[in-house]
C-alpha cells in the first residue's frame, strides 16, 4: 500500500487494522422517501459504525453482528 494513496496516518491505521484482522468502517447512508398521493419528499440518512472481520483461510465462518445505526441530521446528509 502506497503512502501517497492514503497518506501516512491512514496507511499506518490500515496496517494496524490489517494486523488485528478487524476493520472499522463508518457507513453513511442517505436517500429520499416520496409520498406520492401528497407528493411530499423527505430526506433520510443514517450513520452506521461497522466492525468487519477478515475471513480466515479455510472453511471457517465469519459471524456478522447486529449494527445499530444513528439517524443523520439533515446537515450531515450527502446528496
Report if residue 12 sits inside a domain: no
21-64 confidence digits (pLDDT tens): 888 888 988 888 888 888 888 888 999 999 888 887 888 887 88
DSSP string, 29-68: EEEEEEETTTTEEEEEEEEEEEEEEPPPSSS--PPPPP-P
How many distinct structural domains can be found in the chain?
Answer: 1
pTM given for the model: 0.60
Host domain of residue 49: 21-76
- Read off the pLDDT of each residue in 57-73 and give the average, rounded to a whole number: 85
Amino acid at each position: 500500500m502506497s503512502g501517497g494513496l492514503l497518506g501516512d496516518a491512514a496507511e499506518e491505521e490500515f496496517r494496524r487494522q490489517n494486523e488485528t484482522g478487524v476493520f472499522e468502517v463508518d457507513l453513511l447512508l442517505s436517500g429520499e422517501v416520496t409520498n406520492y398521493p401528497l407528493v411530499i419528499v423527505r430526506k433520510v440518512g443514517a450513520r452506521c459504525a461497522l466492525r468487519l472481520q477478515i475471513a480466515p483461510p479455510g472453511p471457517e465462518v465469519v459471524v456478522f453482528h447486529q449494527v445499530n445505526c444513528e439517524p443523520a441530521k439533515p446537515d450531515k446528509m450527502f446528496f
